[in-house]
C-alpha cells in the first residue's frame, strides 16, 4: 500500500503482525501499577472497543501483557510501517487543505528526531502525549483524510470522537486533553484514568499538534538567559549558567546558553538522551567525571568561552561539588520535568538510572521518598550558591513547588501574596513584566511545503516586518523588538530546525498580524507555499498557571482559569483552523489550564480575514486580564491597542494610594 492508502485505511481490516520491542528507541518508563482487577478488565475492554469482535481473542492477551509490563496499553502492533515525519502538505490524501496541515503537524510531533518517546506517542515532558495508543492515531488520520471544510473533528483526550457537520469558518478540529472534574485532578488520578484509557496528558503543544522540536524553548530560554545576565549586570561572556534536564524540551538549554554566549553546565541522568543531544549538536561536550568537569569549567571561565557541557549524572552532585570547590556560578535554574516527579520527570541521587526506573514501577512509595530526599539536598545546595551571589530562578517546571512539598528550605522568610518562595519564577522577574505584559509571546510558523527555501523566505519576510516596525515602536518595547530581530537574523546559522521547517520568534499582536499578513500575501503571489501559524501555550493569554505564565499576577486571580477558557472559545469562532484546551501543561496535572491553536494560511481572502480577527483577540485577551491585575506594562499595552482599534473597549483599573492603608 502507498502512504496515502495506509492513511486512508485507518485501523486495518486484517491484523498486522506483532512488532518487536525496539531497544534502541528511547522508551517511556514503566508506569506504576495502580488499577485494581476490575479496573484492569475495564481498561482492556476500553482498548478492545476500537477493534471488530473477531480480533478480540487474539488482541486481549497481548494488550493484557502490555498493561502488566508497561502500565499502559499502547497497541504497539498497530504502529505504522511508514517513516514518521512531517511531509509536504501535498503528500497527504484528503479533501481539505486545513485537514492535511493538521496531519502534517501530528506526524511532526511523532517524528523520531522530535518526540521523546515516539513509540509511546509521547512528544516531551515524560508524559506529554499526542495520543494514548496507536488505534487513536490511525483513526484520527483516517478521519482527517476524509473530512471536508464543512465538518469538524472532535478529539476527546486523544480519542477521535468523530466528524460532525459544521461550516467553513468553524475549526476543523477541536481538541481537549485531561479536562477533569477538579476533585479528580491529582497526580494519581492521571495515572489511573490514563491507564483506563479515558484521558491523557497533552502537555502543551504535544496534544495540540503544535510542537516544533526544541527550537521553541531555545528561543524562550535564550531571551531568559540574556535577561538574567542583564539583571545581574554581567556580560554573559565567561559567565556560568548551571541547570539540568536534556530530555524533551529542556534539551534546548545548552543551545540557548551558546546563543547567549555563556558557559553552560547541564546535568542529565539518561545516557540515551544525552547522546542524542550531543549528536544533534545541542550540547558541545559530555563529561562523566565531576572533577574533570570542574577543571573544564574553570578553563572555560578563564578563557571566556562560549561552550555547553553536559554532565552525565545527577544535578545534585554538580551543585554540591561546585560548592565544595568554590566554583562561582552566575545564574542557576532547573528544567527537569518536576510536573511529573513520580513517573520519570526527576531522578533521585545516589542510584543508577536503571535502578530508579525499576523502583519507580515496583516500589513507588520508596521512589517518592528518595525523590523528596534529593529535592531537599538539591534546594540546600542551591541555597549555598545564592548566599555566594548566584541569581537563581525557577524555570516554571514546578521545582520550587515540589521542593516545598518535600519540606525543602525554599519558602520566603517574609512571604507576600504571589511571592511565597525564596526565589522568583522566571516569569515573575523576566518574561512576565518584560514580554507577556506587553503582549510579546511565542509566535511560530511551519512551512507546509517542507521546503527549506520557504523557511529562508519567511525568515526574511518576518525580519523585514520587524525592522520596519521598530523604527516607530515606543521605547517601552524597543529591547523586545531588537532581541527578536537579532534572533531571527541568527536563526538559520544556529541550525535550529528539527523535524518540520519551522520558526519561532516573540512578537506582540501588531507584529503577529503584520507578519502573518505578509506571509499570506507571499503565498497568494506564489512566492512560498502554505504556512501553518501557531504558538506555544506558554504565552500572554493562552495559559492560566499560577507558578509560571500568570505568576506575575498579584490581584489574587492567579488561581483562576477564566482567561485560558475565554482564549480558546474566542479563537474558535474567530477563525482558528484548530483549537485545543488542556489540563496540566509544563507545571503539572491539576496545576494549570492552557489553550492553543493552529491556523493555515493559504493565500486566500478568508485566511487574511481570519488572521486579523483571531490574532488580535488571541493576544489582547491576555493583556486585558494582566492590565486588570494592575500590571503597568499591560495597562500601557492595552491603552495602545485601544488607540489602534476603536472597537476595542477594555475596563481599566484604578490604582489605590498605598498610604490610605
Query: Per the structure block, which three cell numbers stand in for 407?
Result: 519540606
Give the three-state DSSP class for 323: helix
- pLDDT for 249 beyond 90: no
Biggest alpha carbon–alpha carbon distance for the chain: 77
Same domain, 172 and 226: no
For residue 192, is it within any domain?
A: yes
Residue 125 assigned ligand-binding role: yes
Alpha-carbon dihedral angle through residues 288, 290, 292, 298, given to the nearest 10 degrees? 130
Examine the fold and report which residue of 169, 196, 223 is the final residue of a domain before the chain moves on.
Answer: 196
Give the three-state DSSP class for 55: helix
Residue 586 assigned ligand-binding role: yes
For residue 203, is it within any domain?
A: no
CATH number at residue 636: 3.40.1770.10
Q: How confident is the model at residue 332 (pLDDT cuts 50, 70, 90)?
A: very high
Same domain, 628 and 485: yes
Neighbours of 405 (CB within 10 A): 13
Neighbours of 15 (CB within 10 A): 16
Backbone phi, psi, residue 61, to 5°: -65, -30
Q: How confident is the model at residue 343 (pLDDT cuts 50, 70, 90)?
A: confident
For residue 218, is it within any domain?
A: yes
- pLDDT for 494 beyond 80: no
CATH number at residue 347: 3.40.50.10730
- pLDDT for 489 beyond 90: no
Cβ atoms 572, 432 nearer than 8 A: no
Same domain, 182 and 222: no
483-521 residues labelled b (16+ CB within 10 A) or e (exposed): bbbebbeebeebebbbbbbbbbbbbbbbbbbbbbbebbe
Query: Per the structure block, which three cell numbers stand in for 138?
Result: 490511525
**Residue 122 pLDDT:** 96
Same domain, 176 and 218: no
Same domain, 247 and 133: no
Question: Edge-to-edge, what's the strand order for the sheet holding 285-287?
Answer: 285-287, 307-312, 263-268, 240-244, 331-332, 391-392
Same domain, 166 and 46: yes
pLDDT of 418-444, one tens digit each? 889 999 989 998 999 999 999 999 999
Same domain, 454 and 562: yes
**Residue 108 pLDDT:** 96
**Residue 247 pLDDT:** 80
Give the three-state DSSP class for 113: coil
Query: Per the structure block, which three cell numbers stand in for 453?
Result: 527555501
**Residue 517 pLDDT:** 98
Same domain, 390 and 490: no
Residue 420 assigned ligand-binding role: no
Burial of 133 (0-12, 13-18, 19+ CB in 10 A): buried
User: For 104-108, 153-157, 374-378, 423-427, which range has the lowest pLDDT when averaged over its residues?
Assistant: 423-427
Tell me if the pTM is above 0.85.
Answer: yes
For residue 207, is it within any domain?
A: no
Examine the fold and report which residue of 134, 163, 196 is the final residue of a domain before the chain moves on.
Answer: 196
Residue 92 assigned ligand-binding role: no
Which one has a higher pLDDT value, 492 or 470? Answer: 470
Residue 216 assigned ligand-binding role: no
Residue 354 assigned ligand-binding role: no
**Residue 379 pLDDT:** 98
Q: Which helix (H) or strand (E) holds 564?
A: helix 562-573
Cβ atoms 506, 223 nearer than 8 A: yes
- Dump the DSSP string for 499-535: SSSEEEEEE-HHHHHHHHHHHHHHHHTTSS--EEEEE
Task: Say how many domains are in the chain.
Answer: 3
Same domain, 253 and 131: no
Residues spanned by the domain of 594:
433-660
**Residue 280 pLDDT:** 83
Q: Percent of the chain beyond pLDDT 90?
A: 86
Q: Which residue has the cell 507577556?
A: 436
Give the three-state DSSP class for 205: coil
Same domain, 180 and 284: no
Q: What CA–CA distance (Å, rounded) separates 274 from 280?
A: 10
Handedness of CA 45, 51, 57, 60 (dihedral sign): negative
Same domain, 400 and 456: no
For residue 454, is it within any domain?
A: yes
Same domain, 453 and 601: yes
Q: How confident is the model at residue 173 (pLDDT cuts 50, 70, 90)?
A: very high
**Residues found in the chain:** 661
> Would you give the distance in Å from CA 455 to the centre of its chain?
22
What residue spans of 334-419 are helical by DSSP H?
353-362, 364-387, 399-405
Amino acid at each position: 500500500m502507498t502512504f496515502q492508502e495506509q492513511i486512508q485505511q485507518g485501523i486495518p481490516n486484517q491484523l498486522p503482525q506483532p512488532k518487536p520491542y525496539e531497544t534502541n528507541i528511547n522508551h517511556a518508563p514503566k508506569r506504576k501499577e495502580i488499577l485494581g482487577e476490575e479496573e484492569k478488565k475495564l481498561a482492556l475492554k476500553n482498548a478492545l472497543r476500537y477493534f471488530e469482535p473477531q480480533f478480540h481473542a487474539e488482541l486481549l492477551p497481548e494488550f493484557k501483557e502490555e498493561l502488566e509490563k508497561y502500565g499502559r496499553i499502547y497497541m504497539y502492533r498497530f504502529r505504522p510501517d511508514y517513516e514518521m515525519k512531517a511531509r509536504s502538505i501535498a503528500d497527504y490524501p484528503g479533501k481539505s487543505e486545513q485537514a492535511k496541515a493538521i496531519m502534517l503537524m501530528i506526524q511532526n510531533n511523532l517524528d523520531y528526531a522530535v518526540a521523546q518517546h515516539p513509540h509511546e506517542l509521547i512528544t516531551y515532558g515524560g508524559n506529554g502525549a499526542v495520543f494514548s495508543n496507536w488505534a487513536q492515531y490511525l483513526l484520527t488520520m483516517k478521519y482527517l483524510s476524509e473530512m471536508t471544510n464543512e465538518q469538524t473533528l472532535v478529539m476527546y483526550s486523544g480519542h477521535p470522537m468523530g466528524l460532525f457537520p459544521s461550516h467553513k469558518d468553524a475549526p476543523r478540529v477541536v481538541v481537549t486533553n485531561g479536562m477533569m472534574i477538579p476533585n479528580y485532578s491529582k497526580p494519581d488520578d492521571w495515572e489511573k484514568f490514563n491507564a483506563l484509557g479515558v484521558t491523557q496528558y497533552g502537555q502543551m503543544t504535544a496534544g495540540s499538534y503544535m510542537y516544533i522540536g526544541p527550537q521553541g524553548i531555545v528561543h524562550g530560554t535564550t531571551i531568559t538567559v540574556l535577561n538574567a545576565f542583564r539583571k545581574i549586570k554581567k556580560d554573559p561572556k565567561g559567565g556560568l549558567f548551571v541547570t539540568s534536564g536534556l530530555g524533551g524540551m529542556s534539551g534546548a538549554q545548552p543551545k540557548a546558553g551558546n546563543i547567549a554566549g555563556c558557559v553552560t553546565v547541564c546535568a542529565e541522568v539518561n545516557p540515551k538522551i544525552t547522546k542524542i543531544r550531543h549528536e544533534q549538536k545541542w550540547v558541545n561536550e559530555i563529561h562523566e567525571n565531576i572533577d574533570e568537569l570542574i577543571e573544564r569549567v574553570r578553563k572555560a571561565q578563564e578563557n571566556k568561552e562560549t561552550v555547553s557541557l553536559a554532565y552525565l549524572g545527577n544535578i545534585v552532585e554538580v551543585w554540591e561539588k561546585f560548592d565544595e570547590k568554590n566554583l562561582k556560578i552566575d545564574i542557576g535554574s532547573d528544567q527537569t520535568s518536576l510536573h511529573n516527579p513520580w513517573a520519570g520527570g526527576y531522578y533521585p541521587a545516589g542510584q543508577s538510572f536503571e535502578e530508579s526506573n525499576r523502583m519507580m514501577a515496583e516500589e513507588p512509595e520508596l521512589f517518592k521518598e528518595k525523590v523528596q530526599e534529593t529535592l531537599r539536598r538539591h534546594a540546600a545546595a542551591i541555597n549555598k550558591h545564592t548566599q555566594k551571589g548566584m541569581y537563581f530562578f525557577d524555570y516554571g517546571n514546578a521545582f520550587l513547588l515540589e521542593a516545598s512539598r518535600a519540606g525543602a528550605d525554599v519558602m520566603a522568610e517574609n512571604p507576600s501574596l504571589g511571592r511565597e518562595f525564596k526565589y522568583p519564577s522566571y516569569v515573575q522577574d523576566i518574561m512576565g513584566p518584560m514580554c507577556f505584559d506587553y503582549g510579546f509571546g511565542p509566535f511560530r510558523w511551519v512551512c507546509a511545503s517542507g521546503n527549506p527555501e520557504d523557511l529562508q523566505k519567511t525568515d526574511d519576510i518576518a525580519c523585514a516586518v520587524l525592522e520596519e516596525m521598530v523604527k516607530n515602536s515606543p521605547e517601552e518595547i524597543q529591547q523586545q523588538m531588537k532581541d527578536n530581530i537579532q534572533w531571527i537574523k541568527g536563526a538559520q546559522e544556529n541550525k535550529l530546525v528539527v523535524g518540520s521547517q519551522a520558526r519561532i520568534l516573540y512578537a506582540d499582536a501588531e507584529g503577529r498580524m503584520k507578519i502573518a499578513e505578509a506571509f499570506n500575501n507571499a503565498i497568494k503571489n506564489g512566492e512560498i507555499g502554505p504556512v501553518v501559524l501557531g504558538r506555544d501555550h506558554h504565552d500572554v493569554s493562552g495559559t492560566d498557571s499560577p507558578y509560571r505564565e500568570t505568576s506575575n499576577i498579584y490581584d489574587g486571580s492567579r488561581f483562576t482559569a477564566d482567561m485560558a477558557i475565554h482564549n480558546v472559545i474566542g479563537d474558535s469562532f474567530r477563525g482558528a483552523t484548530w483549537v485545543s484546551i488542556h489540563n496540566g501543561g509544563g507545571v503539572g496535572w491539576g496545576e494549570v489550564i492552557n489553550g492553543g491553536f493552529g491556523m493555515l494560511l493559504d493565500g486566500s481572502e478568508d485566511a487574511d480575514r481570519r488572521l486579523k480577527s483571531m490574532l488580535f483577540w488571541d493576544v489582547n485577551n491576555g493583556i486585558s486580564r494582566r492590565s486588570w491585575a494592575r500590571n503597568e506594562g499591560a495597562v500601557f499595552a492595552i491603552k495602545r491597542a485601544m488607540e489602534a482599534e476603536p472597537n476595542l473597549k477594555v475596563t481599566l483599573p484604578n490604582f489605590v494610594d498605598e498610604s490610605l492603608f
